[in-house]
Amino acid sequence: MSHLILQSPNLLSANIEKLAAIVNAEGIQELGSAGPVTAVRLLEAESSVTQQAEVQELCQQWHMDYAFLDQIRLLRDCRILAMDMDSTLISIECIDEIAAAVGRKQEVAAITEAAMRGEITDFSESLRRRVALLEGVPHTALDDVYTQRLQLNPGAEKLVATAKRHGLTTLLVSGGFTFFTEKLRERLGLDHCHANTLEVKDGLLTGRVLGDIVDGQAKARHLQALATTLGAEPEQIIAIGDGANDLPMLAHAHYSVAYRAKPVVQEQARFALNASPLDAVLNWFRVSF
């Protein structure tokens, strides 16, 4: 038997009851604080392959997120919260917005999209191609992107703050740039950040990256190194991403989460959030707020 967590900004009682009937749930428990119900737990739910497929189809149709869990663990029993940055923790792809400063956003964004969908398999090469198109961009354009364009995705602050309060170590691993990860480290109190460093000369981007590129395998290595240091097992790791280059990292986490993710990530991650904010992850655990 499992527990089935259902989440959406607009949960309808009729839909909840239909899903409860499909999995022969013994009860329905509302989750969250006062206000409109956005999350429920279906207790002692059956989870055959047929039942899971039916739940998936209906949840996609009704724009609901679902998660089958064998048990509801304590959040404090986890050790690591690992996250991608662009289009996961934040709402934009920073490199695309930097390219806008020189009228190359469309060209750069097309490469970014192909890389995130897994259509370009060599992430490092795709990043070099995109960064080369940034040659001559004033370094001040990065400040403009941070102050004018960058926004945290809904639920990001609550997820990070709650995870830290329960003793989890936070890790931000990005194929983006240290300029932004360091600002987010300070803003959110993140424990570890890894990203790429843009070369700057005379106040202008040179179109080159300094040092080794943080690609999918590097993300996985950073997570595995932290897990080894902390003695964290996969069942104690939450990892969230949206693009193909996040898959190696997600493979190290039992709680692998596809957030508004590309199809290739949705297919391989254990969980997905397509309707709910990032802090919906917390409803998969027992959390004392």
The backbone torsions φ and ψ at residue 140, rounded to the nearest 5 degrees and listed phi first, read -65, -20
Quickly list DSSP for 35-94: SS--EEEEEEE---HHHHHHHHHHHHHHT-EEEEESS--BGGG--EEEE-IIIIIBSS-H
Nearest residue to 11 (alpha-carbon basis) of 33, 34, 30: 30
Rg (CA), the chain: 20
Residue 84 appears among annotated catalytic residues: yes
Given a contact cutoff of 8 angstroms between Cβ atoms, the answer to whether 11 and 38 are in contact is yes
The one catalytic residue in 65, 70, 86, 215 is: 86
Residue 144 appears among annotated catalytic residues: no
Nearest residue to 225 (alpha-carbon basis) of 171, 155, 280: 171
The one catalytic residue in 84, 242, 246, 279 is: 84
Catalytic residues: 84, 86
